[in-house]
Amino acid sequence: MKSATVNIKQIPAMEFRFDPSLHLSEGVKVRETLAELPYEVKPLSSVTERIFLGNIFSRIWVKDKQHGVPYLAASDTVLANLDTGQFLAKRQAVEMPYLVLEKGWILVTCSGTLGNTSYTNGNYAGKIATHDLIRIIPNEDELPGGYVYAFLSSKYGYYQITQSQFGGVVKHINATQAGQIQIPFLSDDLVSEADKKIQESSRLREVASEALKAVHTRFAEEISIKIKPISHSINIKEITSLKGKRFEGAIYTEKAKAFLDTIAEAFDYKTVQELTANIFTQNIFKREYVENGHPFLMGADILKAIPTASKYISYRQASKKDELFVKEGWILMTCSGSVGDVVFVDKQLEPFIYTHDLIRIVPKDYKTQLYLFGFLSSPIGKELVNHFKYGSVIQHLESFHVADIPVPMLGEYFDEIVEKVRKYTESVYKAKILELEAISLVEAEIEKWSK
């Protein structure tokens, strides 16, 4: 049980709130720690140009980007891939320019899941985001945006963000509360170094995005040239040839069917099975969750810009579950709920334990793994993967579905694709490491004075 003594003079500063969850939160301890630092500490509102949310509105959705503006929900802003496939009508977007994101802003999730932060680069610019997101516009003359982001992403920022949460089932924070967050003016050298790391990380994510988009464009251009119209005449042999004996009409009339037929007839191709040493899922198991254990990643966790564990498995159980570990160079694919999203395993991802609800794809060699990731991560690749999903409320996918997917071997472009995917994977890894280093710099400096 937690207990503490609260001075009556502290109540006005806490918006006259008396709830124990506020006064016993980690945020209180953080503010006390910051107050003892040999550095000046100011509220966030005094070192930024503006902190704001948008007004709630009813959304008008459209099907494609020709008629709409790419839209991001709060949960989308922390993802590595910002191409969500959701578009808000251009007419509506024009009426709400204040919701359109710009480069160099800091975004903070403020409803439901609180305190997730993002630093906007060129990939965010021009997209329209939910009103339910705190936008922070840095004042570079006061504190550089990269440093402000690193601090807010640290535990010293996070605990302050979540300290003032309010609401019953769904928790919230507002822009005024965000503005009251205390931020220290650490040494000039440290502030500059943290900012440079975040800025470089942001740039590398743009480089990675451009490289992977070029790969996706190459596949789209080559396959679209030779694409066949969808056939509605189905032979009984075609039904029995599909593992699982699928009878639903969508399997044979969707756009993916045209891609399948085109790849099979117009290209030299190999199936995913032929390009891999192994493709498999793990058996379901009962998890022993603990507060301090081996970091455990769910399917949604791996899709974040920096995958971090929200749950931990006991070390005892982890020691008996070697099959839940993965290795650098593997490809992970979500196969339950959100289906068909792929992630390339780099050194940052290797130490975690992973849910059984992921398909593990183990390529045969380095170039093959890069080429295969480039195709499976493309819109066409995902279309083919989703073609075989099943289930009503919760969608599922099996490893044997993915194993049979044909991959067009674009011989003259093979090395080009491999090189661009290599550039993507290396840039993403470096970006993650730089961001983590910047956050660690801030935390280490504060902890040095709080011991």
Helices (H), 170-314: 175-179, 188-225, 236-241, 250-253, 255-266, 272-275
Q: How far is CA 321 from CA 278, 301, 316, 325, 354, in A?
A: 18, 19, 9, 8, 10
pLDDT of residue 387: 87
| Residue after which a domain boundary falls, among 129, 161, 182 | 182
pLDDT > 60? residue 170: yes
Q: Kindly indicate the confidence band of residue 379, based on its pLDDT and cuts at 50, 70 and 90.
A: very high
Q: Which domain holds residue 374?
A: 218-429
pLDDT of residue 435: 98
Whether 2 is in a domain gets the answer no
Number of neighbouring beta carbons within 10 Å of residue 450? 14
Same domain (yes/no): 245, 177:
no
Q: pLDDT of 65-94, one tens digit each?
A: 888 999 999 999 999 999 988 999 999 989
Q: Output the domain CATH number for residue 13.
A: 3.90.220.20
What is the pLDDT averaged over residues 249-256?
A: 58
Q: pLDDT of 88-97, one tens digit each?
A: 999 998 989 9
Whether 203 is in a domain gets the answer no
Contact present, 207 and 429 (Cβ < 8 Å): no
Q: Kindly indicate the confidence band of residue 251, based on its pLDDT and cuts at 50, 70 and 90.
A: low
pLDDT > 70? residue 231: no
Same domain (yes/no): 178, 232:
no
Whether 188 is in a domain gets the answer no
Contact present, 373 and 421 (Cβ < 8 Å): yes
Whether 241 is in a domain gets the answer yes
The tokens describing 342, both together, are 């792929």
Whether 200 is in a domain gets the answer no
What is the pLDDT averaged over residues 391-413?
A: 91
Same domain (yes/no): 260, 392:
yes
What is the pLDDT averaged over residues 42-71?
A: 92
Same domain (yes/no): 364, 222:
yes
Same domain (yes/no): 17, 125:
yes
Whether 419 is in a domain gets the answer yes
Place of tokens 């991802």: 349
pTM here is: 0.88
Q: Kindly indicate the confidence band of residue 168, based on its pLDDT and cuts at 50, 70 and 90.
A: low
Single out the residue of 114, 125, 126 nearest to residue 152, CA to CA: 114
Whether 112 is in a domain gets the answer yes
Strands of 61-145, DSSP E: 61-62, 68-72, 87-89, 106-111, 113-119, 128-129, 133-138
Whether 207 is in a domain gets the answer no
- Its sign, for the CA torsion 237, 241, 243, 246, is negative
For the chain, the domain total comes to 2
DSSP string, 422-436: HHHHHHHHHHHHHHH
Same domain (yes/no): 250, 123:
no
The tokens describing 17, both together, are 């709130």
pLDDT of residue 243: 46
What is the pLDDT averaged over residues 379-386?
A: 92
Same domain (yes/no): 177, 249:
no
pLDDT > 90? residue 103: yes
Q: Kindly indicate the confidence band of residue 242, based on its pLDDT and cuts at 50, 70 and 90.
A: very low
What is the pLDDT averaged over residues 159-182?
A: 84
Same domain (yes/no): 306, 399:
yes
Same domain (yes/no): 19, 122:
yes
What is the pLDDT averaged over residues 97-108?
A: 95
pLDDT of residue 20: 59
Place of tokens 């970006």: 431
Q: pLDDT of 8-45, one tens digit each?
A: 655 555 554 555 555 555 678 899 899 999 999 999 99
The larger pLDDT score, comparing residue 343 to residue 84, is at 343
What is the pLDDT averaged over residues 150-179?
A: 87
What is the pLDDT averaged over residues 181-210?
A: 97
Same domain (yes/no): 277, 382:
yes
Same domain (yes/no): 358, 279:
yes
Q: Kindly indicate the confidence band of residue 384, based on its pLDDT and cuts at 50, 70 and 90.
A: very high
Same domain (yes/no): 173, 227:
no
The tokens describing 252, both together, are 């044979």
